[in-house]
Amino acid sequence: MTEAETSTLTTAFRRAADRSRGRAQPADLPESIGRLTPQRTEVLRALAGCEDFVSTQLLHAGLLATGSRVGLSTVYRTLTALAAVGRADVVRDTNGEKLFRYRPGADHRHYLICRRCGLSQPVDSTTVEAWAERVAETSGFADVQHTVELTGTCATCQATAGTSG
Ligand SMILES: [Zn+2]
Ligand SMILES: [Zn+2]
């Protein structure tokens, strides 16, 4: 991650904190969302360095392996905060565990994820976005969000699936 990106994220965290000031916090929005501490920056950089979706524990293990002393709860809070400000995509694996992937731009994206190896690939979601917008406009609901998860078996895993594991 470049310095410019880091500063953009810092701004995003501050904006989220400003927005949440003076009104009730959603239950899953960490109170410390406005502060991009050195440890949070470490988590950000680690996440940005991952090509595929990662679990909190896997990212934490990776950080420890590189000498970081960041705690698991800090990793989790940072990832959740990133998702809250729209800078991380979140999916759940087959066990219901949350997986995170850094979102380089403000663009909201959906992925096709391999259930076997975790390979993730952005997919065209124009139709889904148009549908979601239409529902939001006609429902009378505010802050409408959506989660779309597409999973399957990637070409590589299909090729090695002969062993019926
Ligand atoms: Zn695969
Ligand atoms: Zn979408």
CATH number for position 142 = 3.30.1490.190
pTM of this structure: 0.56
Q: Are residues 113 and 72 in the same domain?
A: no
| Ligand approaching nearest to the C-alpha of 131 | 2
Between the alpha carbon of residue 96 and those of residues 25, 32, 84, 92, the distances in Å are 25, 26, 19, 5
Residues linked to residue 152 through DSSP beta bridges, in sequence order: 114
Instruction: Identify whether residues 90 and 10 lie together within a single domain.
Output: yes
- How many whole angstroms from its chain centre is CA 60? 15
Three-state DSSP class for residue 84: helix
Give, in degrees to the nearest 5, the angle at Cα 72 between 150 and 8. 70
- Closest ligand (CA of 128): 2
Same domain, 112 and 100: no
Task: Read off the CATH number of the domain in which 77 is found.
Answer: 1.10.10.10
- DSSP code, position 66: T
Q: Is residue 65 located within the same domain as residue 128? A: no
* Structural domain containing residue 42: 1-104
Q: How many domains does the chain have?
A: 2
Q: Between 72 and 91, whose confidence is greater?
A: 72
- Looking at 104, 122, 157, the residue that finishes a domain is 104
What is the per-residue pLDDT for 110?
Answer: 87
- Verify that 18 and 97 share a domain, yes or no: yes
Q: Indicate whether 71 and 115 sit together in one domain.
A: no
Ligand at minimal distance from the CA of 126 is 2
Measure 123 CA to ligand 1 centroid, in angstroms. 16
Kindly give the distance from the C-alpha atom of residue 133 to the centroid of ligand 2, in angstroms, as a whole number.
Answer: 9
Which of 34, 42, 36 minimizes the C-alpha distance to 1? 42
Q: Predicted confidence band at 59 (pLDDT cuts at 50, 70, 90)?
A: very high
More confident residue, 148 or 43: 43
Residues 116 and 158 in one domain: yes
Q: How many Å lie between the centroid of ligand 2 and the Cα of residue 108? A: 6
Nearest to 54 by CA among 113, 11, 104: 113
C-alpha of residue 163 to centroid of ligand 2, in Å:
36
Q: Grade residue 78 by pLDDT with cuts at 50, 70 and 90.
A: very high
